[in-house]
Chains A and B, each alone.
Chain A
Amino acid sequence: MLGLISPGQNGQITPTELCQKCLSLIKKTKFLNAYITVSEEVALKQAEESEKRYKNGQSLGDLDGIPIAVKDNFSTSGIETTCASNMLKGYVPPYNATVVQKLLDQGALLMGKTNLDEFAMGSGSTDGVFGPVKNPWSYSKQYREKRKQNPHSESGDSDWLITGGSSGGSAAAVSAFTCYAALGSDTGGSTRNPAAHCGLVGFKPSYGLVSRHGLIPLVNSMDVPGILTRYVDDAAIVLGVLAGHDPKDSTTVPINKPLVLSSLEDVSKLCIGIPKEYLVPELSSEIQCLWSRAADLFESEGAKVIEVSLPHTSYSIVCYHVLCTSEVASNMARFDGLQYGHRCDIDVSTEAMYAATRREGFNDVVRGRILSGNFFLLKENYENYFVKAQKVRRLIANDFVNAFNSGVDVLLTPTTLSEAVPYLEFIKEDNRTRSAQDDIFTQAVNMAGLPAVNIPIALSNQGLPIGLQFIGRAFCDQQLLTVAKWFEKQVQFPVIQLQELVDNCSAILENEKLASVSLKQ
């Protein structure tokens, strides 16, 4: 399964060559604005070391020499970590996030830090200080042809599409072949949403499976690191490396056996649940149709497909809104300019200094959430808003438990309401409204702490990716990925065609699963 080094096999490449190809692609796709920091020297040095290991027959594993990217809210030692905010511009962490360290320990090459919405707040990757991220599919042959535009001309650039968010930079980086896998974070759908819009596998692990140490926190009770890849097998390899108890994160649990993905041949013992409350009027008819066809596919292959009810679905976005802003209000309190990050010039008093620093450092979205959160946490509001939301959270989590207890193995839902929209369209509504709309199918999963994955199913009538979401039982990530892998094989989602824009550089990288990259000794 993991075809690595095989002397004499065709299509071999050295880690350094692979690294250089990816760096070159990063330069060619700079207009996507996927990367905030490109760690060229670091990556090349890592590639050199990887090459030495291969020469000595001491490869560290599947990820040795494989280019990866990391969302810029994960701490990376010696490499600027900004969270796309003025508050952390110039901040260089003195340590690596556990997940970053684990990837580096396996010999992965860190290509750079990717762009996001400021502090991961948003569903478009449009609200960071380094500007918005452009969806590579805006430039794909599939999309351009549908729009009857000359694929060689750049004239249509004003109508480029968003990647979704908040891990849009990571999604664009993987989608444009600049790396094989990227880390995102997922608090309300921030990994699955851009995965759906960029035609990628976007995996959210069970809460507690993967360490959050070093992930700059948004909502401690819901955040998880997310994985973005082109194929399910690749996501499984990365998860295998990352999963497990971390002594530095007491909210992680030990796992008792290593994660190995097997092939599912027979789905007749599987029960798929379709939550009826997810069929909302706002859902695009194309996605609804694909959702229906996916259900039919499982049924025709012998699986049991039943309708289930998650009765509190319509309240989950409201509940999420209250809990999220409340935890954000608390988590953002650490940014005061004293020990790290931006500091203003005012020296009159600590309070004045903190207030001005935070005004200068945070954008409107972040400040808005902090203020909302503080409102909900006021003594007179605490019971009616915060505690109430915590109670509703239990009801939502119980809805899922009940659905799974009725014999369902995996739930199948849409991931997004529609395909990726143009940026100019997206910014017509404010961040809070957009997040409330776009997170609709994804955030309940974070509240219940369940694993979920976006799998691209087909292209829309406009030639843009559409994905569906699979949700599994808590800590049944392996089973979830097994089902996802079966589905991926059935639907054969097309590869993005970007040749016109990136010459023949991508030729070697197309159709290459991480697992089958052949690195030379």
Chain B
Amino acid sequence: MLARALWLGLRVPLGGPRGFTSKTDPQGSGRITAEVIEHLERLALVDFGSREAVARLEKAIAFADRLRAVDTDGVEPMESVLEDRCLYLRSDNVVEGNCADELLQNSHRVVEEYFVAPPGNIPLPKLDEQEPFPHS
């Protein structure tokens, strides 16, 4: 009976990778240099904010590194589960819109029909020009 098989299955040591919830996650290879931190903060426009956040990223990378063990030779990347189907596109006719007022209402800073942004093309100050982790 299957019940017995399942019960026995637990008694036999399981081979192969086990414990994806391993408590011995390596702390990270120290790959997160100050350069990488700065680069990521600029790209993401989100700051780490604390040393814990950097440590968390290192753990996340260590976790992701487990994928190296999988043999993916000759395997195509999968972008969508619907890859073997046609997408249905709408015909290119305007059927709705003209709701500028409604959309402008959601913004904090608006002038007539424009969203107002601060000046662009001004890069963020470099890391060494800032205090480290001002928001710890």
Chain A residues with CB under 8 Å of chain B are: 91-92, 94, 207-208, 221, 245, 247, 250-254, 274, 276, 279-282, 288, 291-293, 295-296, 299, 305, 307, 312, 314-315, 317-319, 321-322, 325, 329, 336-341, 343, 346-355, 358-359, 362, 364, 367-368, 370-372, 374-376, 378, 384-385, 387-395, 397, 430, 432-433, 436-437, 440, 447-449, 474
Nearest CB of B to A67, in Å:
28
A-B contact pairs, 28 of them (CB 8 A): A91-B106, A92-B106, A207-B82, A279-B10, A281-B19, A288-B10, A295-B2, A295-B3, A315-B67, A317-B20, A318-B64, A318-B67, A321-B64, A322-B67, A337-B108, A339-B107, A343-B108, A343-B109, A359-B46, A367-B46, A370-B46, A374-B44, A375-B57, A390-B78, A391-B76, A392-B70, A393-B77, A437-B21
Q: Decide if B45 touches A390 in the complex (CB within 8 Å).
A: no
Q: Decide if A250 touches B56 in the complex (CB within 8 Å).
A: no
**CA–CA, A349 to B124, complex, Å?**
8
**Which residues of the other chain, A, contact B120 by a CB distance below 8 angstroms?**
349-351
**CA–CA, A367 to B40, complex, Å?**
11
Q: Which residue of A lies closest to B39 (CB)?
A: A378
- Residue of A343, A349, A432, A440 ringed by the most chain B CB atoms within 10 A: A349
Q: Decide if A358 touches B108 in the complex (CB within 8 Å).
A: no
Q: Decide if A279 touches B6 in the complex (CB within 8 Å).
A: yes
Q: Which residue of A lies closest to B31 (CB)?
A: A375
Q: Decide if A339 touches B46 in the complex (CB within 8 Å).
A: no
Nearest CB of A to B132, in Å:
15
Total count of chain B residues near the partner, CB < 8 A: 71
**CA–CA, A385 to B62, complex, Å?**
11
**Which residues of the other chain, B, contact A291 by a CB distance below 8 angstroms?**
6
Contact among B40, B78, B103 for A371, CB-based, below 8 A:
B40
- Residue of A279, A288, A318 ringed by the most chain B CB atoms within 10 A: A318
- Does B72 reach chain A (CB closer than 8 Å)? yes
Chain B residues with CB under 8 Å of chain A are: 1-3, 5-7, 9-10, 14, 16-21, 36, 39-41, 43-49, 53, 56-57, 59-61, 63-64, 66-70, 72, 75-82, 85, 87-90, 99, 102-103, 105-109, 115, 117-124, 135
Q: Decide if B70 touches A312 in the complex (CB within 8 Å).
A: yes
Q: Decide if A253 touches B82 in the complex (CB within 8 Å).
A: yes
Q: Which residue of A lies closest to B77 (CB)?
A: A390
**CA–CA, A440 to B20, complex, Å?**
9
With A347-B118, A359-B47 known to touch, is A280 a contact of B18 (CB < 8 Å)?
yes
**Which residues of the other chain, B, contact A322 by a CB distance below 8 angstroms?**
64, 67
**CA–CA, A386 to B118, complex, Å?**
34
The binding surface of chain A is classed by DSSP as helix
**CA–CA, A299 to B5, complex, Å?**
13
A-B pairs, top 4 by smallest CB distance, nearest first, are A449-B81, A390-B77, A349-B122, A394-B78
**Which residues of the other chain, B, contact A247 by a CB distance below 8 angstroms?**
88, 90
Q: Decide if B19 touches A282 in the complex (CB within 8 Å).
A: yes
Contact among B17, B53, B77 for A394, CB-based, below 8 A:
B77
- Residue of B45, B68, B107 ringed by the most chain A CB atoms within 10 A: B45
Nearest CB of A to B130, in Å:
11
Q: Decide if B118 touches A353 in the complex (CB within 8 Å).
A: yes
**Which residues of the other chain, B, contact A359 by a CB distance below 8 angstroms?**
46-47, 49, 135
Nearest CB of B to A343, in Å:
4
**CA–CA, A54 to B70, complex, Å?**
60
With A339-B107, A350-B117, A388-B72 known to touch, is A362 a contact of B46 (CB < 8 Å)?
yes
**CA–CA, A318 to B72, complex, Å?**
15
Q: Which residue of A lies closest to B73 (CB)?
A: A391
With A247-B90, A349-B122 known to touch, is A325 a contact of B6 (CB < 8 Å)?
no
Q: Which residue of A lies closest to B76 (CB)?
A: A394
Q: Decide if A355 touches B46 in the complex (CB within 8 Å).
A: yes
Nearest CB of B to A300, in Å:
9
Q: Decide if B18 touches A281 in the complex (CB within 8 Å).
A: yes
Given contacts A280-B14, A295-B3, A430-B56, 20 further A-B contacts (CB under 8 A): A207-B81, A250-B87, A279-B6, A281-B14, A288-B6, A292-B6, A292-B7, A343-B108, A349-B122, A350-B118, A352-B122, A355-B124, A359-B49, A367-B48, A368-B56, A371-B48, A394-B75, A395-B75, A432-B60, A448-B81
Q: Decide if A276 touches B115 in the complex (CB within 8 Å).
A: no
Q: Which residue of B lies closest to A283 (CB)?
A: B10
With A254-B88, A388-B67 known to touch, is A94 a contact of B99 (CB < 8 Å)?
yes
**Which residues of the other chain, A, contact B44 by a CB distance below 8 angstroms?**
329, 370-371, 374
**Which residues of the other chain, A, contact B63 by a CB distance below 8 angstroms?**
318, 321, 436
